[in-house]
Structure 1
Amino acid sequence: MAREWRDAWTAALDALEADVTRVEAMLADDHRARDLPVVDPWSPPAGIGPLPLDLRPRADEILSRQLAAAQALALAMTANRRQLEMMSRIESGEAPRRPAYLDCAI
């Protein structure tokens, strides 16, 4: 029973770690992000009981990686928005989209 319990948790942590590895890969190679499917939220499989104590360090390390990946994603999205805003300011040679005023009171 103890071996099955540990194996169930090991499989659950493998799945969770694979998710964070995919996010880290997306950050490292962001052009592939469009090709990867959206990941479903993770929750422990039903009926496997509490996490074995000897797997706690691995679970904590995965959590740390998830938090770092979430922070990196937020920073990447912010940088992307800033870049998009900057690009929207560059004129492309078309007619200006902003109003132009001419003082004719001379």
Structure 2
Amino acid sequence: MASTDWRGAWSAALDELELDVLTVETLLADERRLLETPPANLWRPPTDLGALPLELRPRADEILTRQLAAAEEIARRITANRQQAAMTARIETGEAVKRPVYLDCAM
């Protein structure tokens, strides 16, 4: 594989990966669109590229940083959603407010 082809293949792979993380960031910014959008196809790393060209390392690092931030935000939202669902379940069942079922007037 020629040096130009190698860099171009890596650049195309990073373009695809960056587009995926941009899609997730956009969905996180717009919850309505998140609900209406079908799940994306999983990105699979190319197997025939060899080592990442040194000049593409900063871009790859920046994409990784964005991916980690998006994953952290997704995890935070999942946790918040579970907490809200648990609170809603307690409210609906009456667990959130403990009230006496009867009053003993004999005392």
1:82 aligns with 2:83: yes
| SS, match of residue 42 in structure 2 | coil
| SS, match of residue 102 in structure 1 | coil
- Structure 2 residue runs without a partner (length 5+): none
Aligned length: 102
Q: Report the TM-score, using the length of structure 1 for normalisation.
A: 0.80
Q: CA deviation at 1:33?
A: 1.5
Q: Residue in 1 aligned with 2:51?
A: 50
| SS, match of residue 50 in structure 2 | coil
Q: Residue in 2 aligned with 1:102?
A: 102
- Structure 1 residue runs without a partner (length 5+): none
Q: What does 1:26-37 align with in structure 2 at a 5 Å threshold?
A: 26-37=27-38
RMSD (CA atoms): 2.2
The letter for the 2-side match of 1:8 is A
Q: CA deviation at 1:38?
A: 2.2
Q: CA deviation at 1:46?
A: 2.2
Q: CA deviation at 1:105?
A: 6.6
The letter for the 1-side match of 2:88 is M
| SS, match of residue 37 in structure 1 | coil
More divergent stretch after superposition (49-58 vs 27-36): 27-36
Q: Residue in 2 aligned with 1:66?
A: 67
Mapped to 1, the partners of 2:75 and 2:86 lie a distance apart of: 17
Q: Name which structure has the greater RCO, CA cutoff 8 Å, separation 6+.
A: 1
Percent of paired sites with the same residue: 50
